[in-house]
């Protein structure tokens, strides 16, 4: 679905300037807390009225500052999944779903039965939210949102506070959900896994501004600024200088960490440019090739998916436990950086 979202909102101590222009099934708003993600989501849902701008979802105009159009939340058909699900505590699961159906003016017994069945809630219809587990509450909240045949599904950090197993289960659930609806998914998160798993189009927010937006692979392959690379937290950002450029063979040489490294051609940069090389921590590989540079390991940090190595010069890499077995702090090891993975940023 097409979304054209461009708004400004001024708050006493915060200025939001947010733009999402995409044609996609799932948008992720990623950023640290206080970046303006939830405020953006609330503008989309209609709970917060922007100061100026325009919100167009599909063919529906939700807000237009110039003409004063502001469609109230109840007419926007947004399935808003709140952080703690916001199931009505005084109603049973069934009552929660029928409330939604009546409120939206779409009562359908067939749909109700379908959703209860699809989300494994049939046995739980007469329970109140307090008698449900976290995962069951999540299923009930999603089913309730789908009762209104939403135009959009807005998710505010849905897996925050869930353990890894429940997080997996949620991603699976969302995949099933997406098969049942063509609603645009807008997800707010600062969890990279969630971002990778669900996002197609990604907007990175920092202190009220979009610092980079684009398709997931493009954003993660080449962060647009040093700030983006640092805030994602999975990149090396190493001072470097371009020594050699060859557009014909798509080659370059970069001087960093005291030696010379192969890289791809960097369009728009010149020989002698100083800046930063960026590459994923997982793009750094141990090497046995005598021609490769050796650096010494400063520290080894066991980590959920392997071992994180810190090298001299501020370099970091993630390798598997078996590879790390023979390494000790102080070991000098040859390494390689996949040339195609290296990006170059002037600032």
Residues that bind other proteins (CB under 8 A): 45-47, 72-80, 82, 84-90, 99-100, 103-105, 129-130, 144-145, 147-148, 154
Between 34 and 72, whose beta carbon lies closer to other proteins?
A: 72
Distances (CA, A) of 134 to 86, 137, 165, 260, 328: 12, 5, 12, 52, 42
Between 143 and 315, whose beta carbon lies closer to other proteins?
A: 143
Q: How far is the CB of 134 from other proteins (least distance, A)?
A: 10
Between 130 and 290, whose beta carbon lies closer to other proteins?
A: 130
Q: How far is the CB of 86 from other proteins (least distance, A)?
A: 4
Enclosing H/E stretch for 174: helix 164-180
Q: How far is the CB of 81 from other proteins (least distance, A)?
A: 9
Between 50 and 223, whose beta carbon lies closer to other proteins?
A: 50
Between 147 and 345, whose beta carbon lies closer to other proteins?
A: 147
Q: How far is the CB of 316 from other proteins (least distance, A)?
A: 39
Q: How many CB atoms lie within 10 A of CB 313?
A: 15
Cβ(294)–Cβ(252) below 8 Å:
no
Between 61 and 86, whose beta carbon lies closer to other proteins?
A: 86
Longest dimension (CA), the chain: 72
Cβ(51)–Cβ(65) below 8 Å:
yes
Q: Return the axis-axis angle of helices 134-147 and 164-180, rounded to nearest 10°.
A: 20
284-286 and 251-256 beta bridge pairing:
unpaired
DSSP assignments along 71-121, one per residue:
--GGGT-EEEE-TTTT--TTS-HHHHHHHHHHHTT---HHHHHHHHHHTT-
Q: How far is the CB of 215 from other proteins (least distance, A)?
A: 28
- Residue 153 φ then ψ, to 5°: -115, 115
Q: How far is the CB of 108 from other proteins (least distance, A)?
A: 14
């Amino acid at each position: 679905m097409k979304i054209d979202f461009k708004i400004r909102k001024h708050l006493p101590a915060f200025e939001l300037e947010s733009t999402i222009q995409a044609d996609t099934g799932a948008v992720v708003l990623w950023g640290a807390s206080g970046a303006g993600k939830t405020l953006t989501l609330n503008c989309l849902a209609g709970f917060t009225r922007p100061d100026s701008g325009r919100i167009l979802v599909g063919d529906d105009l939700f807000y237009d500052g110039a003409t004063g159009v502001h469609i109230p939340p109840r007419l926007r058909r947004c399935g808003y999944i709140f952080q703690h699900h916001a199931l009505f505590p005084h109603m049973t699961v069934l009552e929660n779903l029928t409330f939604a159906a009546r409120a939206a003016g779409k009562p359908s017994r067939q749909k109700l039965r379908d959703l209860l069945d699809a989300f494994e809630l049939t046995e739980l219809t007469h329970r109140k939210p307090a008698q449900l587990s976290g995962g069951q509450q999540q299923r009930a909240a999603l089913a309730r949102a789908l009762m209104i045949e939403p135009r959009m599904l807005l998710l505010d950090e849905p897996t925050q506070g869930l353990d890894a197993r429940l997080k997996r289960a949620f991603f699976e659930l969302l995949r099933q959900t997406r098969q049942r609806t063509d609603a645009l998914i807008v997800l707010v998160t600062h969890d990279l896994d969630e971002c990778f798993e669900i996002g197609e189009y990604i907007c990175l927010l920092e202190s009220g501004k979009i610092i980079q937006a684009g398709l997931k692979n493009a954003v993660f392959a080449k962060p647009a600024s040093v700030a983006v690379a640092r805030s994602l937290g999975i990149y090396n950002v190493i001072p470097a200088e371009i020594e050699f450029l060859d557009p014909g063979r798509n080659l370059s040489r970069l001087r960093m960490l005291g030696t010379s490294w192969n890289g791809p051609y960097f369009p728009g940069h010149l020989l002698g440019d100083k800046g930063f090389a960026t590459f994923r921590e997982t793009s750094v590989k141990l090497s046995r090739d005598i021609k490769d540079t050796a650096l010494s390991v400063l520290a080894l940090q066991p980590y959920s998916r392997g071992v994180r190595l810190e090298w001299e010069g501020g370099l970091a890499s993630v390798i598997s436990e078996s590879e790390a077995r023979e390494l000790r702090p102080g070991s000098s090891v040859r390494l390689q950086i996949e040339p195609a993975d290296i990006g170059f940023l002037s600032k």
